Structure 1
Amino acid sequence: MTGDETRTTTSTTGRIPASTAPRDLGASTRAWTTRLVVVGIVLASLNLRPAVTSLGALMEETREGLGMSGGVAGLLTSVPSLCFAVFGATAPRLARRFGPAAVVCAGMAAIATGLLIRPYAGGTAGFLAATTLALMGIAVSNVLMPVIVKRWFPDRVGSMTGLYSMTLAVGTSVAAAATVPLTDALGGSWRTGLALWAALAAAAVLPWLPLVRERGNVRSGAAARPEDRAGAPPADDRPAPTRSPALRITRSRTAWALAVFFGLQATAAYITMGWMAQIFRDAGVPADTAGLLLAVTMVMGVPLAFAIPRLATRLPHQGPIVVALGLCGLAGYAGLYFAPAGGAWAWAVLLGISNCAFPLALTMVGMRARSGAGVAQLSAFSQSTGYLISIPGPLLVGVLYQSSGGWGLPIALMAVLMVPQMIVGVLAGRDRTVEDEAAR
């Protein structure tokens, strides 16, 4: 009792006992590091789409400036999905070797470098190579964002995934809307308009630099310990964890369901972004209004991308959300088929809601695995496989439109694909983990 009273008296007089000083210092360091991770997540997610949407805004000027053929330009629109699939699959291996924070930091540097040099690479081949470099950085960061969230915020997966998804939607919308005005303000050169987004990616490198030595739980595959849940990287003096057996992700039915769900929602999103404005224009909607309708669809993802993950983590089964989003998509496609111009604003809102299956898929990645290693493998598998599935969709819509001379068949295809999306989404939303399924 005397010792306790002495320690109490000592602490109340303002002197910090030696036994508690390291703990207090560690808590302060953890709080500072956690805030740094939040800033890093926000800046990284802002940079995961401007490389694509800024090019779309200046595609005509880029084609003319590089003498690019229409076929090559069409190929360029398929490169993002291909890169996301191929390079995203390498992310877990890189994270195990270097740590997820270091890989994301390198990814941001690759995005900044690719965006800076691609307008000045000297020709179409150089432009494609630099674009691929930027997309490589986006691909590995895409996969590792759920891993970062699971590692640092295991009790706030929904809210942090919502923050990540919301800022990703903001980056997508801002780059699409602001690229042309910024290009005009800076002299009208398409090269400057594309290169300026490298500055945002360079800024995203900075918060990750102090975290490059943090390897988290991806190496060990163990669940986050209580002292790590506050955001602290494992201390250097802790014993190295033993490596857990590799997870055979392809044995999990949930992993396959989530991969197909991710692919079908990506197909719907790319079709919407690539063709919806043209559908409205062909229905008699003025070009500027059609662009505004597309912007409305994209902006819908900003508030909903934050709300849906928070709701999803509170439910034992995410199937009802999957079905609700799918029904919005079916209603939007029905409107485009029967009255594309008459209810254009309603269809744009409904399709914008339906496209929020993307943040839901990311949330389920974090919920369907227990460990950091499991999240890394599931994220890589579902996104890589999903993006491969999504590649033919926009191209097939273009072929059907050209061969049929109208939008009836393409819209019917979009509606048909929404049905299996809801089915596999319900399967992916069941309360189970890929580790348990793979073990069985």
Structure 2
Amino acid sequence: MRGALNLLLVVLLALNLRPILTSIGPLLEPMRQSTGLGYQQAALLTALPVLCMGLVPLLQPWLRRWLSEHGGMLAGLAAIALACLWRLQLDSAWALIVSAVVAGLGVAVVQGMMPGLVNRWFPGRLAATMGLYSAALMSGGGLAAVLGPSITAYFGHWQFGLGLWALPALLAIVAWTVLRPRQDTPALAGGGGGHWFGNRRAWLLALYFGLINGGYTSMVAWLPAYHLEHGGTAQGGGELVGLMTIFQVCGALGLPLLLRRLVDRRPGLWLALLIQLAGFLGLLLAPASAMGLWVALIGLGLGACFSLSLTLTLEHLRTPGEAGSLAAFVQGVGFIVTGIVPYITGWLRDASGDFQASWTLLTCTVLAMLLVTVRFAPKGYARAIAREGRVAEAVLN
């Protein structure tokens, strides 16, 4: 019974971590017409929350001194709910941007705790549970993208398409308060943080996580606009993000399950990256002929990459406290990188006049990550962390 309640909490918490990002793209045109929002400012609505998702986990070694896991989870969910409620009445570009920062801070606190929490609750089913967490996270994003235009049409204002996502956040607050385990609740982020700044393997994992997931933030930010440029509609753009999300969920759940007997995560990561590569090459070479297929391939690869890259990080260390601390660092640096990517791809769109340069950059990134994946042999996990940690300690002393 306790395990089922914990799984339910994982799902409810994860559902709240992406609507603040994915609800923007399908409603971008009415938002721009109403507020005068430019493409560079629109990029901030995605980039700033993701940067928050990076900066806050890096501060967790200090935050945990005064903020418990329970208090941090409630504060994070409350910030998401507050930002969404605020968006119900916004009418200016800068207010939208500030609401994105508030929501991003809330997501950052919740998301930073999730890998350590999953590792502590489900140590024997880590890959499968991380897959479920990733699938729920992506499902929340897909629902926001698909339903946002319909909600806007029903209420007559785009603010409702952004603001109604306060409801699942409020539900998660109630569920966490009532259903959370009462025993063995650690301080925020678990034990052992902070020392990863001097560890080269931690930096490699962080940059890998950031770049391997940079395609997601770029697709969420620009896929609806790209669809409009090819004669589509706002509803169609949201449905494309929804299609991508369906295949992300399939990738996050299916590939880890298919390869569950493998200790080595590299075959799964190589396969996921190759699937992404096929999708981006399709957008580059034949976008009009099968856009749905290319988007589905990109989603399938992105979903598997997110789940497997987090599992790869957690498996580098044996204790939940240290593994959670490493995951917080990896997500911290990684999401900063991930947040910068859509800003760069948006700048390339403005500079070149279309999205081909943006897709070219993402294709090159996938190719580079295919090569980096060679470094992550399971037998070298402990040795790489210990050796590079000793090197860093010697330098610091």
Per the TM superposition, whether the score is higher than 0.5 is yes
Partner deviation per Cα, 1:243-293 (whole Å, 9 max, x = no partner): x766622343432221111111221112223334554555x5644656544
- CA pair 245-39 structure 1, distance change in 2 beyond 3 A: closer
1:341 and 2:276 correspond: no
- The within-5 A match list for 1:178-189 is 178-185=147-154, 187-189=155-157
In structure 1, the partner of 2:243 is 296
Answer whether contact 1:84 1:139 (CA < 8 A) is retained.
yes
1:249 and 2:218 correspond: no
- CA pair 61-337 structure 1, distance change in 2 beyond 3 A: closer
Residues in 2 aligned to 1:217 and 1:436: alpha-carbon distance in whole angstroms: 25
Corresponding residue SS for 1:300? helix
Answer whether contact 1:271 1:394 (CA < 8 A) is retained.
yes
In structure 2, the partner of 1:135 is 104
Corresponding residue SS for 1:155? helix
Answer whether contact 2:40 2:347 (CA < 8 A) is retained.
no
In structure 1, the partner of 2:333 is 385
In structure 1, the partner of 2:74 is 105
Answer whether contact 1:251 1:437 (CA < 8 A) is retained.
no
In structure 2, the partner of 1:4 is none
1:209 and 2:177 correspond: yes
The letter for the 2-side match of 1:188 is: G
Partner deviation per Cα, 1:138-171 (whole Å, 9 max, x = no partner): 0111111111101111111112111111111110
Partner deviation per Cα, 1:375-426 (whole Å, 9 max, x = no partner): 2321221112112222332233333334334444333222211122223334
The counterpart of 1:401, out of the listed 349, 357, 360, is: 349
Of 194-203 and 345-354, more deviation after overlay is shown by: 345-354
In structure 2, the partner of 1:117 is 86
In structure 2, the partner of 1:375 is 323
In structure 1, the partner of 2:365 is 417
Answer whether contact 1:99 1:215 (CA < 8 A) is retained.
no
Answer whether contact 1:143 1:380 (CA < 8 A) is retained.
yes
In structure 2, the partner of 1:13 is none
Corresponding residue SS for 1:381? helix
The counterpart of 2:167, out of the listed 194, 199, 202, is: 199
Unaligned segments of structure 2, at least 5 residues? 391-397
- The within-5 A match list for 1:68-79 is 68=37, 71-79=40-48
Answer whether contact 2:57 2:332 (CA < 8 A) is retained.
yes
- Deviation of 1:53 (Å): 1.8
1:318 and 2:265 correspond: yes
Corresponding residue SS for 2:242? helix
Answer whether contact 1:101 1:215 (CA < 8 A) is retained.
no
- CA pair 298-285 structure 1, distance change in 2 beyond 3 A: farther
- Deviation of 1:118 (Å): 3.4
In structure 1, the partner of 2:252 is 305
The letter for the 2-side match of 1:94 is: L
Residues in 2 aligned to 1:277 and 1:70: alpha-carbon distance in whole angstroms: 13
In structure 1, the partner of 2:49 is 80
- CA pair 412-127 structure 1, distance change in 2 beyond 3 A: closer
Corresponding residue SS for 2:263? coil
More helix by share: 2
Corresponding residue SS for 2:124? coil
- The within-5 A match list for 1:42-53 is 42-53=11-22
- Greater relative contact order (Cα < 8 A, sep 6+): 2
The letter for the 2-side match of 1:346 is: L
Residues in 2 aligned to 1:395 and 1:388: alpha-carbon distance in whole angstroms: 11
- CA pair 410-125 structure 1, distance change in 2 beyond 3 A: closer
The letter for the 2-side match of 1:380 is: A
Corresponding residue SS for 1:48? coil
Residues in 2 aligned to 1:387 and 1:81: alpha-carbon distance in whole angstroms: 6
The letter for the 1-side match of 2:158 is: W
Aligned length: 385
Answer whether contact 2:251 2:302 (CA < 8 A) is retained.
no
Residues in 2 aligned to 1:397 and 1:69: alpha-carbon distance in whole angstroms: 15
- Deviation of 1:176 (Å): 0.6
Residues in 1 aligned to 2:44 and 2:27: alpha-carbon distance in whole angstroms: 16
Corresponding residue SS for 2:23? helix
Answer whether contact 1:247 1:438 (CA < 8 A) is retained.
no
Please tell me whether Structure 1 or Structure 2 has the larger radius of gyration of its CA atoms. Answer: 1
Residues in 2 aligned to 1:395 and 1:336: alpha-carbon distance in whole angstroms: 19
In structure 2, the partner of 1:163 is 132
The letter for the 2-side match of 1:55 is: I
Answer whether contact 2:135 2:252 (CA < 8 A) is retained.
yes
Residues in 1 aligned to 2:313 and 2:94: alpha-carbon distance in whole angstroms: 36
Of 209-218 and 344-353, more deviation after overlay is shown by: 209-218
- Deviation of 1:39 (Å): 2.0
- CA pair 188-405 structure 1, distance change in 2 beyond 3 A: closer
